[in-house]
Amino acid sequence: MFPQATGPAVSLSSMHGVSLRLGLPLSSHPSFSSPSSSSVTSFGDKKRGYGFVVSASTETSLAQTGVIFKPFEEVKKEDFMIPISRQISLARQRYQDECEAAINEQINVEYNVSYVYHAMYAYFDRDNVALKGLAKFFKESSDEEREHAEKFMKYQNIRGGRVKLHSILATLSEFEHAEKGDALYAMELALSLEKLTNEKLLSLHGVAAQNNDPQMTEFIEREFLAEQVEAIKKIADFVTQLRLVGKGHGVWHFDQKLLHEGDGVF
């Protein structure tokens, strides 16, 4: 299939019913040379007319070191075959289906939380609600959750999985509560959502651990877990402060601080 004379390559057997091949432009690579070189390692099925030859070292260096260097011996293994089909990721390696599905579920979680925060932003931005600080806070929170979804999307593609977006659930559009008022009610809901998100992240981490995927567990830890507990603490503080100030003027004051002084003052 790939005559040695026109570019050494290895044609490999099928994997998952898809024809695969490994083609290496050996002739142009300084690590490879023709069989006339002084020291060569060859493999592949020469009886079938293909195979490739690796020049690992010269006879002189071999004699000096006693080391036989066979850099591409291992690539003959099925694990390292490179798919031809455009339907299959070339990069995917040791990425289990269960991990791929769990990442897609987490993308959905992040989008749903973003959607709820977006609804809160729209509510507090109304002229007859007019709590601009809370509107700003929930707008930023919505954007942040969407960024989280996108971060998981990017990760899915890095690992050779496929992003599948699921349905987003309809959310509340009214946040008024007779006893708590709207600000406290919305903030308590936000705290519950952040805790739920944390549960989902920990479950995702568990899936990665069960599938022996240390790169994925490290990614979740590095990018999400620390930030998530910090978000829970911040919103828990807000809930406590809103409980202290009650409704009316206290909420207005809380909102003004949120609007003008940023998160750092809390």
Annotated binding site: 110, 145, 148, 194, 228
Distance (Å, whole) CA 190 – CA 178: 18
Selected range binding Fe ion among 7-15, 91-99, 107-115, 205-213, rule: CB under 5 A: 107-115
Selected range binding Fe ion among 37-45, 82-90, 145-153, 214-222, rule: CB under 5 A: 145-153
148 binds Fe ion, rule: CB under 5 A: yes
Size of the site for Fe ion (CB under 5 A): 3
Selected range binding Fe ion among 24-32, 90-98, 102-110, 166-174, rule: CB under 5 A: 102-110
DSSP annotation of 116: H
Q: How far is the CB of 240 from Fe ion (least distance, A)?
A: 22
Q: How far is the CB of 169 from Fe ion (least distance, A)?
A: 16
Residue nearest to Fe ion (CB): 148
CA atoms within 13 A on the CB side of 33: 11
Q: How far is the CB of 230 from Fe ion (least distance, A)?
A: 12
Please say whether the beta carbons of 155 and 100 come within 8 A.
no
Q: Considering beta carbons, is residue 81 or 220 the nearer one to Fe ion?
A: 220
State the burial class of residue 183 (Cβ atoms within 10 Å of its Cβ: 0-12, 13-18, 19+): buried
Selected range binding Fe ion among 50-58, 71-79, 139-147, 232-240, rule: CB under 5 A: 139-147
Strand spans (E) along the chain: 9-15, 18-23, 41-43, 52-54
Phi, psi (5° rounding) for residue 40?
-135, 155
Q: Considering beta carbons, is residue 55 or 228 the nearer one to Fe ion?
A: 228
Selected range binding Fe ion among 23-31, 42-50, 109-117, 180-188, rule: CB under 5 A: 109-117
Distance from chain centroid for Cα 230: 20
Q: How far is the CB of 50 from Fe ion (least distance, A)?
A: 50
Q: Considering beta carbons, is residue 220 or 251 the nearer one to Fe ion?
A: 220
Distance (Å, whole) CA 122 – CA 159: 36
**β-strand 9-15 against 18-23: which pairing, if any?**
antiparallel
Task: Find all residues with CB under 8 Å of 124, minimum gap 6, and list them.
Answer: 130, 131, 132, 134, 135, 138, 175, 182, 186
Q: How far is the CB of 158 from Fe ion (least distance, A)?
A: 19
Task: Find all residues with CB under 8 Å of 205, minimum gap 6, and list them.
Answer: 217, 220, 221, 225
Q: How far is the CB of 21 from Fe ion (least distance, A)?
A: 42
Q: How far is the CB of 168 from Fe ion (least distance, A)?
A: 14
Return the bridge partners of 20, or none. 12, 83
136 binds Fe ion, rule: CB under 5 A: no
205 binds Fe ion, rule: CB under 5 A: no
Which residues are documented as binding site for Fe cation? Answer: 110, 145, 148, 194, 228
Whether the CA torsion 70, 72, 76, 78 is positive or negative: it is: positive
Name the site residues for Fe ion (rule: CB under 5 A).
110, 145, 148
